Copies of this chain bind each other. A is one copy, B any other.
Amino acid sequence: MWVFEETLADGSLLTKTINERHENTKYLPGYSIPENVIADPCLRSTVADADLLVFVLPHQFLRTISRQITGVLKPGARAISLIKGLDTQGNDIRLITDVIRETCLPAPASPGAEVVPMSVSALSGANVAHEVAAGQFCETTIGYHHTTSLSEALVWKALFNTPVFRVSCVPDLAGVELCGALKNVVALAAGFSDGMNQGGNTKAAVMRIGLLEIRDFAARFYRGIRHETFFESCGMADLITSCVGGRNWKVAREHAATGQDLASLEQTMLNGQKLQGILTAEEVYNFLSARGLLHSYPLFTAVHRICIGEIKASDMLKHI
């Protein structure tokens, strides 16, 4: 496994610590990593012989790493993305799996042969990392491209499925990815609702309206979307975990309850890290605005307008 090398507080290297202690002491302390998993700081050597590539990284680094590995990958290698987010270029929204497919190219099968892009799937679900690491029962969804066969997904299912990490496969790659990214916007809305001291009825309504906007957005702009996907772990279940906890929900709740602006809350509550939901809400807003479709997504629109201070969180319900 490639690990971005860091020097820890005690002066040791992160990869060395992982390989000696079989624990990621910085990012997931307290949980052991199997001994057959080796942390390697060299990206190219890690990926060169891999048949199966699992992408797990903050999506803003994706294009940097793709530049390093393209042409090094084995012909016939496949990839799966565990990244939750979207890639934007101007007012356009791209799926992370599309970016991987286009920018992480295998070597040609023989010198001069055509380069065949990788098959890329996605995994998303109600999978809070430390609960998964603790072995608590959960489900997840693997989305594979609607034009490929189930056998593509079954390779990944064989790799990930366990009795306490239950995998379902759906031929709806875009649906699975969009759920993972857009649920953060809905989590902000749920946080605003809770911060306003609205009860369970209102919060459930906000979550439901949010899920329908995710579904509508997916069906309008992507191919192969299936309604069934939104009943999977990547859909309603991930939405639930994100809206009853998680960073987006928590910071949004604090904003609505105290009136402190979101940027300051990112400073105090997240040490300056940016909230994924705020970024995604802006990307979706720009995308919809450029197409004259803001009115069809009142909740997404209201969340962005609250994030930029254009309307108050307490007015959200008037706008959805």
**Contact residue range for chain A?**
35 or more
* Interface pair B205/A137, CB less than 8 Å apart: yes
Task: Give A211 to B228 CA distance when docked, in angstroms.
Answer: 12
Contacts of A137 in B (CB 8 A): 198, 201-202, 205, 317
Task: Give A227 to B211 CA distance when docked, in angstroms.
Answer: 15
Question: Which one, A9-17, A71-79, A128-136, A271-279, is touching chain B?
Answer: A128-136
Q: Indicate whether A189 reaches chain B with its CB closer than 8 angstroms.
A: no
Q: Indicate whether A19 reaches chain B with its CB closer than 8 angstroms.
A: no
* Interface pair B241/A201, CB less than 8 Å apart: yes
Q: Indicate whether A34 reaches chain B with its CB closer than 8 angstroms.
A: no
Please judge, given known A-B contacts A227-B227, A236-B236, whether A138 and B202 are in contact too, CB under 8 Å. Answer: yes
A186–chain B nearest beta-carbon distance, Å:
12
Interface CB pairs A-B, < 8 A, 18: A126-B201, A131-B199, A131-B202, A136-B201, A137-B202, A138-B201, A139-B208, A139-B209, A164-B317, A200-B244, A204-B240, A204-B241, A208-B231, A208-B233, A211-B236, A227-B227, A236-B236, A244-B244
- Contacts from A to B (Cβ < 8 Å): 126-128, 131-132, 134, 136-139, 164, 166, 198-205, 207-209, 211-212, 215, 227-228, 230-233, 236-238, 240-241, 244-245, 317
Extra A-B contacts (10), CB below 8 Å, given A134-B199, A200-B240, A207-B237: A126-B205, A128-B199, A128-B201, A131-B201, A204-B238, A205-B233, A207-B236, A208-B232, A211-B231, A236-B236
